[in-house]
Amino acid sequence: MSTGLPSASTALFTDRYELTMLSASLGDGTAARDCVFEVFARNLPLGRRYGVVAGLGRLVEALRDFRFGERELAWLSDGGVVDEATLSWLADYRFSGEIDAYPEGELYFPGSPIMTVRAPFGEGVLLETLVLSVLNHDSAVASAAARMVSAANGRRLIEMGSRRTHEESALAASRAAYLAGFHSTSNLECGRRYGIPTTGTSAHAFTLLHDDEATAFRSQLAVLGTGTTLLVDTYDIARGIETAVAVAGPELGAIRIDSGDVGVLARQARDQLDRLGATGTKIVVSGDLDEYSIAALRAEPVDAYGVGTSVVTGSGAPAAGMVYKLVEVEGRPVEKRSAHKTSRGGGKAALRRHRPTGTATEEVVFPTAGPVPELGPHDRLLQRPVWRDGGPVADAPTLEDGRERLRRALVSVPWEGLTLSRGEPAIPTVFA
């Protein structure tokens, strides 16, 4: 029944109701109606001040592979999921529509039209699950990671959370953390797949394996050189540091402390290292850090943070809460109208207004059916073309582009928007 291996097609990363809706709409002819679908978030999670768009690069790759091949069709047919007419339609399926979206690294706010999909209903309805899986996961991680980067205030952040999340999401999480400004990842596959710098030295197991700490340190230094990071908290930290400098010399690259009150321990370690002449030896701390503990360590002599669980799980908000909604049918705006979870009909785009100083003031969401509101010299349109003529647009932004975009966007956020405390979005969303 199963090989456990991932499929090369992404077409079945789809909720069954998308295929039953397709089938019914092929039956009554509405599958061909021109539609507009929109991805947006009703709220930012947990009183956050901004969200960060991430995952678009991965999504484009996944959309390329969204084809119903023999294996997928055979399974749908055997399971009686859809009828013959639908199977034959799926066999020829190629997404012929257009996609515009906020690029990776762009900020988003409640109601931002993060993605707009224009396509016949049958083509657009199939993409809901895949689009949301990628954007909700990656944006959740990037949104949390960006707050950690702000909290670290220029110090280095190492993502080391692979072990705390599904093995494939680990890669996407590392990628999103890097987009948000993390410096490196522990995950080798992430390095291979996305070209992100990888780092890693040793665990407590390596010290425990050896007859004593000095032997373990010597062994590591022989392979990784004096610039390496020695983990000093397996037994007694002060003795660990003493041994580390004795064995490596004062040119030792760094020590890592992974447990205890890392603020106090970092101060003691700094004093001890300085006394031992290892004034250039850096201090890396890790162990259940999140944006709050990183901020709390600002006054301590810490050079880098290793962050695991909190970044890969979105620090309390593991999904970004984005939805994929039908907003327009053959030029007519449509919207759900019963109580709760209402939406605004009609295809939309957005621009962000800024003061002459560069500070953002508001997100303006406007109907694409009308004129584009006037753009001031410091304002900019937020959506970019992503998919045209059956494929991704050329010169799509790279991961590095997204990293730079976010760096600049965060500079534009009003200062209250960069605080870690809960509150209103950093700028209001205005519907024109």
Residues within window 28-57 making contact with its own copies, judged by CB under 8 A: 28, 30, 33, 35, 37
The nearer residue to its own copies, 393 or 418, going by C-beta atoms, is 393
Which strands, in side-by-side order, build the sheet including 184-185?
184-185, 156-159, 304-307, 282-286, 254-257, 229-231
For residues 108 and 55, the answer to whether their CB atoms sit within 8 Å is no
Options 214, 295, 319, 381; binder of its own copies; rule CB under 8 A: 319
Work out the angle at residue 400's Cα, subtended by the Cα atoms of residues 397 and 403, and round it to the nearest 5 degrees: 100
The nearer residue to its own copies, 239 or 408, going by C-beta atoms, is 239
Options 77, 206, 378, 393; binder of its own copies; rule CB under 8 A: 206
Site for its own copies in 347-406 (CB under 8 A): none
The nearer residue to its own copies, 332 or 356, going by C-beta atoms, is 332
Q: How many CB atoms lie within 10 A of CB 145?
A: 31
Element spanning 278, H or E: none
- Which tokens hold the place of 266? 């970092």
Closest C-alpha to 295, from 253, 341, 263, 252: 263
Among the candidate windows 278-286, 325-333, 365-373, 375-383, which touches its own copies by CB under 8 A? 325-333
DSSP, collapsed to helix, strand or coil, labels residue 406 as helix
- Which tokens hold the place of 362? 């508001």
The nearer residue to its own copies, 15 or 274, going by C-beta atoms, is 15
The nearer residue to its own copies, 68 or 366, going by C-beta atoms, is 68
For residues 230 and 206, the answer to whether their CB atoms sit within 8 Å is no
Site for its own copies in 404-423 (CB under 8 A): none
The nearer residue to its own copies, 203 or 372, going by C-beta atoms, is 203
Options 73, 98, 155, 219; binder of its own copies; rule CB under 8 A: 219
Options 116, 139, 150, 202; binder of its own copies; rule CB under 8 A: 202
Task: In angstroms, give the least distance from the CB of 25 to its own copies.
Answer: 7
For residues 393 and 48, the answer to whether their CB atoms sit within 8 Å is no
The nearer residue to its own copies, 252 or 409, going by C-beta atoms, is 252
Task: In angstroms, give the least distance from the CB of 312 to its own copies.
Answer: 8
Residues 227 and 173: their CA atoms lie apart, in Å, by: 28
Options 98, 110, 156, 191; binder of its own copies; rule CB under 8 A: 191
Among the candidate windows 204-212, 346-354, 401-409, 423-431, which touches its own copies by CB under 8 A? 204-212
Site for its own copies in 104-123 (CB under 8 A): 121
Q: Please tell me whether residue 3 binds its own copies under the rule CB under 8 A.
A: yes
Q: Please tell me whether residue 174 binds its own copies under the rule CB under 8 A.
A: no
Residues 117 and 125: their CA atoms lie apart, in Å, by: 10
DSSP letter assigned to residue 393: P
Element spanning 254, H or E: strand 254-257
Options 212, 335, 400, 424; binder of its own copies; rule CB under 8 A: 335
Q: Please tell me whether residue 230 binds its own copies under the rule CB under 8 A.
A: no
Site for its own copies in 264-303 (CB under 8 A): 287
For residues 348 and 375, the answer to whether their CB atoms sit within 8 Å is no
Options 12, 295, 393, 420; binder of its own copies; rule CB under 8 A: 12
Among the candidate windows 90-98, 127-135, 274-282, 293-301, which touches its own copies by CB under 8 A? 127-135
The nearer residue to its own copies, 94 or 340, going by C-beta atoms, is 340
Q: Is 245 exposed, middle or buried (0-12, 13-18, 19+ CB in 10 A)?
A: buried
Which strands, in side-by-side order, build the sheet including 332-333?
332-333, 322-329, 34-41, 115-120, 98-101, 384-388, 391-392
Site for its own copies in 62-91 (CB under 8 A): 62, 64-65, 72, 75-76, 79, 81, 83
What is the total residue count of the chain? Answer: 432
Work out the angle at residue 383's Cα, subtended by the Cα atoms of residues 379 and 384, and round it to the nearest 5 degrees: 115
Task: In angstroms, give the least distance from the CB of 215 to its own copies.
Answer: 8
